[in-house]
Amino acid sequence: MNLLTVALTTAIGVGSLAAVLGLLSPRRVRATAVGVGTALCGAAATVAGVAAIGGQHATLELPGLLPLAGVSITADPVAGVFVAVTGGVAIAAGIYGIGYSRHGLDGRGVQAAFPLFIVSMLLVPVAASVGTFLLCWELMALTSLLLVVAEHRQRPEVASAGRWYAVMTHLGLVAILSGLLLLTAHAGSDSFPALRQAARHLSPTMRGVVFVLVLIGFASKAGIVPLHAWLPRAHPEAPSHVSALMSAAMVNLGLYGIIRVGFDLLGGGTRWWWLLVLALGAVSAIYGILQAAISTDVKTLLGYSTTENMGLVLVGVGAAGIFASAGSPVLAGLAVTAALLHVINHAAFKTLLFLAAGSVLHATGTRDLDRLGGLRTTMPATTAAFGLGALVASALPPGAAFISEWLLLQALIHGLPSAGMATAIAMPLAVAAVALTAGLAVATFVKAFGVGFLARPRSPRARDAVESPASMITGMAVAAAGCVALALLPTLLLPGLGKVGAVLMGGPSAVAAGPITLRLVGVAGSLSPLMLTAALLVGLVLAAAAVRILASWRVRRQTRLWDCGAGPLSARMEYTATSFAEPLQRVFDDVLQAEQDVDVTHVTESRYLVQAVEYHRRVPDRVERRLYEPVLRFTAAWGRAGRRLAPGGVHRYLGYGFYSLLALLLLLVVTR
Amino acid sequence: MNGLRVAAAIGQPVLVLALSPLLVGMMRQIRARLEGRAGSGIGQPWRDLRKLMRKQPVAPRGTGQVYRTAPLLLLATTLVVSVASPFIATGSLLDPIGDLFAVIALLTLGTVALALAGLDTGTAFGGMGASRETTIVALVEPTLLVAVFALSVRVGSTNLGAIVTSTLQDPARVFSPVSLLAAVALGVAIIAETGRLPVDNPSTHLELTMIHEAMVLEYAGPDLAVIELASAMRLTVFLGLLANLFLPWGIATSGNPLLILGAAAAFVAKVAVLGAVLAAGEVFLAKLRLFRVPELLAGSFVLGLLAVAASFSLA
């Protein structure tokens, strides 16, 4: 009984207990009981995850729990990373949920599904057999679906989002199921060690087929383009603490699946797998952030940003695979360490951003950036939280995401001389993709923070906003503390992550970190996040002191805004999110293909005088239009055609049954 | 070596701080003379700063803390970069942050602070400037990083000191196609980042063409002085980086005081020459339309990519 076993069991026990409390406790205390239980479950899970990263192992076999397959659980360092991330997000989301659930979200079903969703996410990475894995995966999909549709009575869009999510997550499950069953059929047993053995004797073609199948399933869970269509629908419509869990914890498990099956079970594979992964990642990163940059709905924007960040992680994973197949495990370890660090950083800042967006939604009832603004005076805590999250999300120093992107770029830069022509073309393009993504992320989050929270309110609801209750602010504070700790002291975390990368890639640990500076092993490179922040602070203090001493000592005078001497401004004259993103939309028009039209109504007496001008702009998701709509149209046409087979007569249906049976029997006769 | 580091850590920011307004003054003077005007002398930016610093600070109603701290943050990021970069010595006290990515990201942080301040005013001009500036930042980033990529591949490190030292040891590399292509790409990116012609006109106040000026339109008094100073310092820092990444000769590698003085003189001379070339070039250029700027940046991006491809085939 080591710490890992105790903590993991506690987490799952407390989480299940919270689910039971959600069903049984009276409405008055329900949200509090579930929230506290979830936070405790998350805390225990974080401890378990850290213990697993530290090198502890735990195995649990419960053959009687599930008929035929049984349940088998193994926690190793790779699983530990994802358990710890889910646990950390659960702490913040659980505390936040206490206050957030008071308005119509404290029904029995929702409150019971919430802790159950977290427990299933904790079980997915520690599952050690195909049966257990798929069971937890499906439990995770179903509980999250229940949570997504929690508010379907209030808003009709929720139901549509739920349908998209349900269909796509299950198509993904079908792909994963087929891939893993194909592998299991060759292994004779569904336990992961048996699969590892079997994969060694598989033909390369067969392994490729298995990999592509599971890649499709896991990429759809991670919101990778072109399988992302559910993500910008489901994440905004879910309650905000659920959005945080889905965006910061659930999508990670798609990446976990790719890492587990690709590197661990299939043992690395060939280069084209990872070139495919790298390409998917780069396309997702650019497409995701481009859609986020022009989005005006704050939660949709955050959803697309999730696609972007998962794309960046996939770039790291793909690069790791390429380096491993080229025979340089050190670089592969570095790339995979960068990817894992980015998973952790993304979880921290995306939790913070979704919780802050939820707080805004709670206070103003709108997610539309064009109607927000001026929240810094009425909601200072939420503004500070979103500002911190936005700084980290734009990958600028001193934020945490800067460090993981720096590591990723280091891996890509040092990877160039190592391998052949394909790598030489892929790496610079990957660097350019990461760079473009970073640039657009800056524009996106300047827009989200500057338009949403600064300037003046653009609607009465934004003007009358009031700060959220203490529990929600505490939840945000937990996430913010995580962001700050990750930004200042990644040196405490990185040696552990480096070992995880080393375990996966079979080389030495790629990162050595002293207390202040982190250094790369095997290639030249060092960075000190703590020194960077300290230098910035010292610079700021020096600048402030110098201005204080040298400038005029008179007090600041309140004046009205100059604005070129024009009259008092109304809020309608401010730049909105739409107008802010207009130059970017025009620059990338070939990709985005926005639809806009201007309707001018003339005065009846003279067509030189204008009565009203109406401007409409819509930016449809182009991948969706090109890829999904034809499939949906075809399916609908197929369904309509099939309807003629079912006119409603019972005789006809009995006849169908009879003839099907007959055909089956004939088939058996012919083939046997 | 430590003496050298301390000398660089104190000398570089002081040098950049003192000389950057003179650089701006010199560029304006060159421009004026080439256009047939007398010009106001190279000390005018310093005189302007002194005048602005004496004025009473103002706080426009409806602006918040972001608006107040943005100028200081801009100045702070530029100061940190001027300490960490190899201008007069190859070693730096802040060596672990003297990394090309870190330096570029720090300078971007300053731009972001100003863009947020522009939005914070809630005026149409502030928003317009912020929107245009962030668009350009988003498009410049790939070019900058690809050029950095080309420079660091041959050295195997993104550390500025390491790149400069490696160029000192192997001077022939400077005249390779990789260096030339990367230099052109980086040069275009720097013109865009510092808001010079043909991307932005630093002396315009015409509303349709303003980018940087629109963002800082509401600032006055000491706040404006800080922004003007920091912008001039950014220009110096960028030109200094361009000079020393490709032509690092004269930089001090040991703590000899004479060498350090010589390095400072060399740095001043290099930046002055680059500034003069830039100012002379601007006389013959018109500002590009905002929506033509991406084409310029795409061109420099292709040059950067070619530099990377060349560095691979020549490696």
pLDDT digits (tens, 9 = 90+) for A199-239: 888 888 999 999 999 999 999 999 998 898 899 889 989 99
Structure confidence at residue B309 (pLDDT)? 76
Select from A308, A429, A587, A590 the residue whose CB has the most chain B CBs within 10 Å, as the one to mutate to test that interface.
Answer: A587
Q: What's the pLDDT band for B1 if we cut at 50, 70, 90? A: low
Mean pLDDT, residues A126-141 taken together: 92
**Residues within 8 A of B (CB atoms), A 208-267 only:** none
Asked if A409 contacts A494 with a C-beta cutoff of 8 angstroms, the reply is no
Among A384-398, A534-548, B178-192, whose mean pLDDT is lowest?
B178-192
Select from B193, B308, B313 the residue whose CB has the most chain A CBs within 10 Å, as the one to mutate to test that interface.
Answer: B308
Per cent of chain A over pLDDT 70 is 99
CB-hemisphere CA count at 13 Å for B161?
21
| φ and ψ of A630, to 5 deg | -60, -40
Structure confidence at residue B313 (pLDDT)? 65
Distance separating alpha carbons of residues A129 and A81, to the nearest angstrom: 19
Whether residues A587 and B135 touch (CB distance < 8 A) is answered with yes
Distance separating alpha carbons of residues B252 and A129, to the nearest angstrom: 62
Q: Å from A535 to nearest chain B CA?
A: 6
Structure confidence at residue B107 (pLDDT)? 93
Distance separating alpha carbons of residues A537 and A534, to the nearest angstrom: 5
Per cent of chain A over pLDDT 90 is 53
Highest-scoring range by mean pLDDT, A324-338, B9-23, B81-95, B276-290: B9-23
**Residue-wise burial string across A322-356, b where 16 or more C-beta atoms lie within 10 A, e elsewhere:** bbbbbebbbbbbbbbbbbbbbbbbbbbbbbbbbbb
Distance separating alpha carbons of residues A425 and A408, to the nearest angstrom: 17
Q: What's the pLDDT band for A419 if we cut at 50, 70, 90? A: low
* In the predicted structure, residue A124 carries a pLDDT above the cut 90: yes
Helix runs in A366-469, H state only: 375-378, 380-393, 400-414, 421-453, 460-463
CB-hemisphere CA count at 13 Å for B271?
27
Q: What's the pLDDT band for B304 if we cut at 50, 70, 90? A: confident
Highest-scoring range by mean pLDDT, A196-200, A280-284, B213-217: A280-284
* In the predicted structure, residue A566 carries a pLDDT above the cut 60: yes
Select from A286, A396, A434, A537 the residue whose CB has the most chain B CBs within 10 Å, as the one to mutate to test that interface.
Answer: A396
Distance separating alpha carbons of residues B213 and B286, to the nearest angstrom: 17
Q: Detail the DSSP E strand segments found in A219-292.
A: none
Mean pLDDT, residues A9-37 taken together: 92
The β-bridge relationship of strands A518-520 and B58-60 is: unpaired
Select from B52, B97, B218 the residue whose CB has the most chain A CBs within 10 Å, as the one to mutate to test that interface.
Answer: B97
Per cent of chain B over pLDDT 90 is 41
Structure confidence at residue B314 (pLDDT)? 61
* In the predicted structure, residue A314 carries a pLDDT above the cut 80: yes
* In the predicted structure, residue B315 carries a pLDDT above the cut 60: no
Report CA torsion sign: A343, A348, A349, A350: positive
**Residues within 8 A of B (CB atoms), A 555-594 only:** 555-564, 569, 571, 573-575, 579-584, 586-587
The kind and range of the H/E element at B170 are none
- Sequence-ordered list of residues with C-beta below 8 angstroms from that of A513, at least 6 positions apart, any chain: A490, A491, A492, A494, A495, A519
Residues of A in contact with B54 (CB under 8 A): 551-552
Among A603-607, B99-103, B253-257, whose mean pLDDT is lowest?
B253-257
- Nearest to B252, CA basis, from B136, B161, B152, B119: B161
**Residues within 8 A of A (CB atoms), B 103-132 only:** 105-106, 108-109, 112, 115-116, 119-128, 130-132
Whether residues A579 and B61 touch (CB distance < 8 A) is answered with no
pLDDT tens digits for B13-49?
A: 999 999 999 999 999 999 999 999 998 999 999 999 9
Whether residues B61 and A409 touch (CB distance < 8 A) is answered with no
Q: What's the pLDDT band for A304 if we cut at 50, 70, 90? A: very high
Whether residues A413 and B79 touch (CB distance < 8 A) is answered with no
Q: What's the pLDDT band for A417 if we cut at 50, 70, 90? A: low
Q: What's the pLDDT band for A416 if we cut at 50, 70, 90? A: low
Whether residues B139 and A587 touch (CB distance < 8 A) is answered with yes
Mean pLDDT, residues A341-364 taken together: 94
Asked if B242 contacts B160 with a C-beta cutoff of 8 angstroms, the reply is no
The kind and range of the H/E element at A558 are strand A557-559
Q: Which two tokens stand for residue B285?
A: 């250029």
Distance separating alpha carbons of residues A588 and A278, to the nearest angstrom: 22
User: Is the CB of residue A524 less than 8 Å away from at least one CB of chain B?
Assistant: yes
Q: What's the pLDDT band for A28 if we cut at 50, 70, 90? A: confident
- Residue among B127, B141, B291 minimizing CB distance to A574: B127
Asked if A162 contacts A145 with a C-beta cutoff of 8 angstroms, the reply is yes
Q: Which two tokens stand for residue A455?
A: 């300037």
Distance separating alpha carbons of residues A569 and A455, to the nearest angstrom: 12
What is the DSSP code string of A99-117? HHTTTT---HHHHHHHHHH
The kind and range of the H/E element at A62 are strand A58-62
